[in-house]
A and B are shown apart, each in its own frame.
Chain A
Amino acid sequence: MSKDIFIFIECKDGSIRKSSFELLSKGREFAEKLSSTLYAIVLGSGIQDITEGVKPFADKVLSMDMEALKDYRWDTFTDALGYLIKKYNPSLVFGASTITGKDLFPRLAARLEAPIVSDAVGIELQEDGIKIKKPIYGGRIISWVSTQNAPTSLITFRPNSFSIEKKQGIGELIEEKADLQMDSRINVIKVDRGTSKKVDLQEADVIICGGRGMKGPENFRLLEDIAEILGGRVGASRAVVDSKWRDYEDQVGKSGKTVSPKLYIGCGVSGALHHTMGMDTSKVIVAINKDPNALIFQYADYGIVDDLFNILPVLKKGLESLKQEA
């Protein structure tokens, strides 16, 4: 039986997403331990730059460069990835639990009757197979699961689950074509790219999150400035989104996005369970709140008890001069 690994590569604005490199790095580790082949799967139209970009990270690059794959659609992408899986029989297919991954992988799993584990945060190799780590109940329980009774397993991982390691691979390019059916029952009428933000919230290394303590939408400028210095993103608590100070796409928490950045800074966030469920896997958590009893301090590594309007301007200055030194 094949032990080969497929990594489904995703692009954003013409470049390879960070989460794809994370998966390639983890896939490389597994391929070495299993003595198997690591394939990077690139689907799209006009994708030479992308295939070149992943070559150093994979043994082989399977590229399907077709007009029908220009934009992501579940119909053509399920056909294309399904075709490649049937042809190459990988044992593992990794994807990211992004908007695309969450749409494509379940459809593909049903098509192939393949087991799927979604939104995982880790994977380990054991003597008798794999062991996948997946938080459930808002991260209050960690489940370890395995797949069985099937040749191919699909797994989507939360962005920021693995570190990126640069490896010098050869990345032999294999060009593929398949018969792709565009489902005529779905007709895209309009695409609005205006709402797009530079850094994806789930992929951001740094998230600076505002709660009700920010007092109003105009004060989020303070957070935007700091996020820009750190190359991060601004997040928001549910209370903030419900008050329409920020868009829903910024919401961190149980009913919003689950994030695990390297650094999370909560400003005026009380730390309701609803919110902490969406961020408690962050590597380092800083809380700034004038209430020393705020729940957020129970989740934080570092805390500042002070009025955030005193702290944030000073923090901005401090980070600016740090950046200039570097």
Chain B
Amino acid sequence: MNILVFIKQVADPEARILIKSDNKSLEIENKFNLNFFDEFAVEEAIRLKGKIKETKITVCTYGGKKAIEALRTAIAMGADQAYLIDNTDLDTEDPLITAKILAGFAKKEGFDLILCGRQAIDDENGNIGVMVAEFLKIPHVSAITKLDVVDEKKMLVENDIEGGRETKEVMLPALFTTQKGINEPRVPLITGVMKAMKANIPVIDPTTLGLAKEVIDKNASKIRIISYETPKGRPPVRVIEGETPEEKVKKLIQLLREEAKVL
């Protein structure tokens, strides 16, 4: 079975982020990780490999040269092969473009199953996985919390729906996005890290994936960044003084009613 895992390298949640003077670009401290939700996708692929014979796990990202580090993390965990589709000078804010490129890669590479995290923790969009499925005309299930193999052509998955949980049987090829709770992603072993350091990661030119340059370049973007700003900070906290819990609570309720008007 061929499993594709699409990943993204994202800024560490604690990385310093500054808005550049043009107000339209960001300067991010050099602290990047494999996206939190993508770790679940890589882990689930490795688990499937343990259950289905002759399974190959291919990870791929559309990113800058730096993103090779995140691909190496996936190999260190246990993926077999990685590809970087190089977005130098083409990086885009439009998920339609990224999804088209990844779908183009999937078509070229061939696959039975595609996994990816339910969303990236940087742009917090959560569009790419579902869009790739639509471009490939395959079924998808969002934010799965459980995956079982029925046979090589069929999977049983669980995900949350409004007000409950659903179990679905899905024919492959299909795409699933992974949610926290599906597994506990492993920490790579030193042998894995050694293997990843030596792994050959081919760099792919996105224009070789059957898409014309005009479809993927910056002019094709349907999303335009107007500006970035930092959120307005809150005034300093008002600590409520009082001798007893009763006094403090009384004052709090009064403030929430009369000042904040939320009770």
Contacts and interface: CB of A to CB of B under 8 A. Distances in A.
A166 B130 CA distance: 35
Contact of B134 (A110, A184, A306, A315): A110
A66 B161 CA distance: 20
B131 to A, nearest CB: 4
Contacts of B253: 315, 318-319, 322
B169 A189 contact: yes
Interface residues on B, range: 35 or more
A170 interface: no
Interface residues on A, range: 35 or more
Interface string A211-234: 000000000000000000010000
Contacts of A284: 256, 260, 262
A145 B223 contact: yes
A314 B127 contact: no
Nearest to B14: A273
Q: B-side binding surface: helix, strand, loop or mixed?
A: mixed
Given A185-B174, A249-B160, A318-B250, A135 B139 contact: no
Interface stretch (B81-89, B116-124, B197-205): B116-124
Interface stretch (B43-51, B59-67, B105-113, B234-242): B234-242
Contacts of A153: 222
Interface stretch (A30-38, A50-58, A101-109, A171-179): A101-109
A189 B167 contact: yes
B139 A305 contact: no
Interface stretch (A21-29, A40-48, A87-95, A192-200): A192-200
A149 B97 CA distance: 13
Interface string A1-38: 00000000010110000000000000000000000000
B93 interface: yes
A91 B163 CA distance: 31
B139 A142 contact: no
A70 interface: no
B141 interface: yes
Nearest to A111: B134
A195 B14 contact: no
26 contacts: A12-B163, A78-B134, A99-B161, A105-B127, A110-B96, A115-B94, A116-B125, A116-B127, A118-B127, A137-B17, A144-B227, A188-B166, A190-B167, A248-B180, A254-B13, A255-B121, A256-B180, A273-B14, A286-B256, A297-B237, A299-B234, A300-B234, A301-B238, A301-B260, A302-B238, A302-B252
Interface of A: 10, 12-13, 72, 74-75, 78, 98-100, 102-103, 105-107, 109-111, 113-119, 131, 135-150, 153, 183-196, 206, 230, 248-249, 254-256, 258, 262-263, 273-274, 277, 280-281, 283-287, 292, 297-306, 310-311, 314-315, 318-319, 322
Given A138-B13, A274-B13, 9 more contacts: A74-B140, A107-B133, A110-B135, A142-B231, A146-B226, A149-B222, A302-B256, A315-B252, A318-B253
